[in-house]
Structure 1
């Protein structure tokens, strides 16, 4: 699969290896874009740990998250498809991430060592959902054989008489 298909197409399936490769590329791009954003504003690198720059960092993070949302969702969608899940689940993770930064932008965030109730209301579900995504997309094998989203990227074939779902086999006739 080409880089163009990996980051710009929502169709098909990818296994764990291309997912991790794509994710690492996006993480490096995110940090590079955040640093470029801060540099363009004249914010010194030492300011990253300074609470007075929390709002600027949140703005940078939201801006870069929005810039990388399309390729990130395309990557995540294909991996969700490999697990026989709808790509729309990826929107949940991105939405909560942006909402978490929105709390900071709206001025409801507390200091890093004592987060506000509004931050915790976003951060706790985000951490739990993020953990689920990490396990689901990063460590569990996709559906063996073809599923509703396409052929197995690893070339596996489902055993005769079964339909493969996310993580297990189910009889074709619902019994």
Structure 2
């Protein structure tokens, strides 16, 4: 499997090791963007004058949005391939993203400490479920409906 297929295709299967490598690469890319953004903000603040304020770097914001979208796409594609390795539909990624988003929105509107706590516990449980499902459980042994076992040696 080439790098483009690994990162951006929704077809096929990948094992846990490849999933974690892509997760680490995505984390490194996002960390580098964050460090660059913080350095840029610090530079702009130090060069700002009281009358003009800090200039906004729209080019960097556009690059950050594009990189963010690529990382989201890559994370989704590798998650779907992990689900395929577990012989599950890739549509479960929609459930993972959707439940996380809904719980996040509910956390924003929660008014009492107990409701916020309950939502925090729910969000933690969903996160643990996702990590276990995608990153810890072994895939189906042998071929399944999504392709050959990525751990089996390919015939020469």
TM class by smaller structure: 0.5 to 0.7
Match of 2:123 in 1: 126
Match of 2:115 in 1: 117
Shift of 1:109: 7.6
Whose strand proportion is higher, 1 or 2? 1
Question: 1:62-83: CA deviations, max 9, x gaps?
Answer: x676552111000100011000
RMSD (Å) for aligned C-alpha atoms: 3.4
Question: 1:13-72: CA deviations, max 9, x gaps?
Answer: 00111111111111222222333344444599xxxxxxxxxxxxxxxxxx6765521110
- 1:29 aligns to what SS in structure 2? helix
TM-score under structure 1 length normalisation: 0.60
More contact order relative to length (CA 8 Å, sep ≥ 6):
2
* Distance in structure 2 (CA, Å) of the matches to 1:91 and 1:40: 35
Provide closer, same or farther for how the CA distance between residues 115 and 67 of structure 1 changes in structure 2, counting only shifts above 3 A: farther
Listed as ranges, the gaps of 5+ residues in structure 2 are 45-64
**1:153 and 2:156 correspond:** no
Listed as ranges, the gaps of 5+ residues in structure 1 are 45-62, 157-175
TM-score under structure 2 length normalisation: 0.66
**1:74 and 2:71 correspond:** no
* Distance in structure 2 (CA, Å) of the matches to 1:90 and 1:26: 17
Provide closer, same or farther for how the CA distance between residues 151 and 117 of structure 1 changes in structure 2, counting only shifts above 3 A: same
Which has more radius of gyration?
2
* Distance in structure 2 (CA, Å) of the matches to 1:89 and 1:118: 26
Give the 4+ runs in structure 1 shifted more than 6 A: none
2:141·2:149 contact (CA, 8 Å) conserved in 1? yes
Whose helix proportion is higher, 1 or 2? 2
Shift of 1:84: 0.4
